[in-house]
Chains A and B, each alone.
Chain A
Amino acid sequence: MSLVLTGIGTTSGIVIGRVHRLTPGELSLPEYHLEPDAIEVEIERLHRAVDRGQRFLLDMYEKVTGEGTDTARELLEAHRLILKDPLLADATCNRIRDERINAEWALFKQAEQLLAEFRRMDDDYIALRREDLEQAVNLIQRELAEQPASLVGSQVPHQLDATIIVAPELGPADLTLLHQRRVAGLVTEHGGPWSHSAILARSLEIPMIVGIHHALEILEEGEPVILDGHYGALLASDDESLQRHYQDKLEVTRQHRTDLRRYLGRPSKTRDGESFQLFGNAELPQEFQRCKDDQVAGIGLMRTEYLFLDNDLPDEETQYRAYRQAVRTMAGLPVTVRTLDAGSDKLPPAMAIGQGPNPALGLRGLRLSLAVTDLFRQQIRAILRASVDGPVQILLPMLTGVGEVKLARRLIGECREELRRAGIETDPGLPVGGMIETPAAALAVTRLASELDFMSIGTNDLIQYVLAIDRQDELVSYLYDPAHPAILDLISRTVEAGKDHNIPVTVCGELAGDEQAVRMLLGLGVTRFSMPPGSLPTVKKSLLEASAKACRKKVEDYLSGNEIETSEKLLESLMRDESA
């Protein structure tokens, strides 16, 4: 029997493993009245439970290591503050005394009152804190029941390799422990992509799916499953051949990757001697390291949205540390930092300052930054400060006109001046570039090029805007064609404008990571490609074995409608003749 359960994937990655169920173990909350002489004993019992809870959290705080430590510690600290909160502990004591009821009951009543109060506040942020309060209360209830504080503690073996944990929900302390025991994947029945555990799992890079309702009812202990965090799908199957199929597939992919890596060290020249450069798209520290290991020419795209995913906006220091770490890891190779590109599909809760009728055409990308300039300045200052440690470039997203560039440049200049006054000298020639991803930018590219130090073509958005197609929309997705002549024309214009103004042009959308599409781009005159680290080996091989001349000829034949009629045929023929 095979079964696919779906939820929301919050950390991508595929894991094959066995289910380990974490059930809360029915916590029965006893309710009874106390004799007057039992009251102080009961209060003492509550205090001890709270103390043990505190110690447990402190212990976790000390134990957490590696990636995501800061996030984990911040969450654990928040839980500790809640545990100590007089509105919780003291008020519960008062209830024990005044209402003469046992600790569990008093705590339950007090928590209900606080939750009701939180519910009245229609702030997304507070809504999330409710989850924290529930988890903290649960922690005390467990201590009162003298059950282990964490779901995880008693129920989980010490080695979790190839284990996928399925639980109703998970708190930061649970996640920290599971991470230490090297859990392979996580599934929860409740919680959304912005829940604290989802955020934490992302920073710990544990593949996770949230919101698979009734997962615990459906899945059995030890059951083999395949978790695909990218699609939010959990494939449960007792079919061994299917398991083997996935296992083999993972193995083949691994082997193939190893084989491809030998291309990475070769000089970046096509078969007919045209030079090209490969760059990496990266945001997390490991990705920078991987790009470095894979011998990129630099970071072509460092997205910064991930810094803003949390409910709190990151302060300048947090941002500075992230950028500086990237710059230091790349050790002298340029790092292109794109300013916040909060968009239609990925507006972090903290940034949801209002949404227009059509977010895709609304306040997004640089527009949002220029609307909230103090936020923009903060980011710019952090980037400029990081540039002290190595070469950095600033990339502006979602441009439509020269005015935006000028305004952004003015703000950047002001930030540089502020820093100079504070004794931090930054490079006045720090390159400022722009994304060419709207039709307006691509059509007016000559004018824009004169104001920019470099350009990056964001093919994903460009294709959507030019073809007027939302890729997610199944009804029109068949029209999505990355090789549409209109797209190729705009890319070629941008390349030309770059040449005329003597500024570099890089393609950093999905196309740049596709072995077929890079040959098409090569045929359009693109020689700089920026892609996720995983695509580097295949793209490098494809370009090494390509002939730039032949690619140009084929693209011309396609654009003029000679011989090559459809984009499928173009891509196919680009691969066919040259793999020889």
Chain B
Amino acid sequence: MIRRSIKLTNRLGLHARAASKLVQTASEFKAEVWLEHNARRINAKSIMGVLMLAAPCGTELSMEVDGPDEGEASEALVRLIEGRFGEGE
């Protein structure tokens, strides 16, 4: 299991477009992905869960990835989040 924390730096935080991309990326892997923020723990493969996190820019999320391809999954998600979901800012 991989556990790490990561900061949302895209301007809008986890709003719809970013949330969709996150869910799509997480769903590409077998590993389970959990995100936690404000004592709320959600499945990163759930679009509604991610939206309910309502995490704005600057939020520190803790991420937990568990499964056979956890390494790749975690890397892909970090790349997506650090790349600001391709928002260009």
Chain A positions near chain B (C-beta within 8 angstroms) = 74, 77-78, 81-82, 84-88, 114, 117-118, 121, 123, 125-126, 129, 133, 311-313, 315-317, 374-375, 377-378, 381
Contacts and interface: CB of A to CB of B under 8 A. Distances in A.
B86 A126 contact: no
A123 B15 CA distance: 11
Contacts of A118: 48, 52
A86 B51 CA distance: 13
B52 A312 contact: no
Given A78-B20, A374-B11, A315 B88 contact: yes
Contacts of B16: 78, 125, 129, 311-312
A125 to B, nearest CB: 6
A133 B16 CA distance: 13
A385 B74 CA distance: 33
A126 B46 contact: no
Contact of A123 (B23, B43, B54, B86): B54
27 contacts: A74-B17, A74-B20, A77-B20, A78-B20, A82-B48, A85-B45, A85-B46, A85-B47, A85-B49, A86-B43, A86-B49, A87-B43, A87-B48, A88-B48, A117-B52, A121-B52, A125-B15, A125-B16, A126-B51, A129-B16, A129-B48, A312-B17, A313-B12, A316-B89, A317-B88, A378-B88, A378-B89
A556 to B, nearest CB: 52
B15 to A, nearest CB: 6
B86 A317 contact: yes
Interface of B: 11-12, 15-17, 20, 23-24, 27, 43, 45-49, 51-52, 54, 86-89
Contacts of B86: 315, 317
Contacts of B47: 78, 81-82, 85
Contacts of B88: 315-317, 378, 381
B89 A81 contact: no
A377 B11 CA distance: 13
A114 B51 CA distance: 12
A315 B87 contact: yes
State the main secondary structure of chain B at its contact with A.
helix
Nearest to B27: A84
Given A86-B43, A316-B89, A81 B23 contact: yes
- B24, B43, B48, B51, most chain A CB atoms within 10 A: B48
B45 A86 contact: yes
B27 to A, nearest CB: 8
Contacts of B52: 117-118, 121
A406 B16 CA distance: 35
Contacts of B87: 315-316
Nearest to B18: A312
A56 B24 CA distance: 19
Given A81-B47, A86-B45, A126 B89 contact: no
Nearest first, the 3 A-B pairs at minimum CB distance are A316-B88, A81-B47, A312-B17
Given A118-B48, A315-B87, 14 more contacts: A81-B20, A81-B47, A82-B48, A85-B48, A85-B49, A86-B43, A86-B45, A133-B48, A311-B15, A311-B16, A313-B12, A315-B88, A316-B87, A317-B88
A312 B15 contact: yes
A28 to B, nearest CB: 26
A91 B89 CA distance: 36
A81 B49 contact: no
Contacts of A133: 48
A82 B15 CA distance: 15
Contacts of B45: 85-86
B50 to A, nearest CB: 9
Contacts of B20: 74, 77-78, 81
A87 B49 CA distance: 7
A51 to B, nearest CB: 16
Contacts of B11: 313, 374-375
A313 B15 CA distance: 10
A467 to B, nearest CB: 39
- A81, A88, A126, most chain B CB atoms within 10 A: A81
Contacts of A378: 88-89
B48 A114 contact: yes
A312 B43 contact: no
Contacts of A377: 89
A118 B48 CA distance: 9
- A85, A126, A311, A374, most chain B CB atoms within 10 A: A85
A469 B17 CA distance: 40
A99 to B, nearest CB: 21
A568 to B, nearest CB: 50
A121 B49 contact: no
A493 to B, nearest CB: 39
Given A85-B46, A85-B48, A86-B45, A312 B23 contact: no
A87 B46 contact: yes
Contacts of B15: 125, 311-312
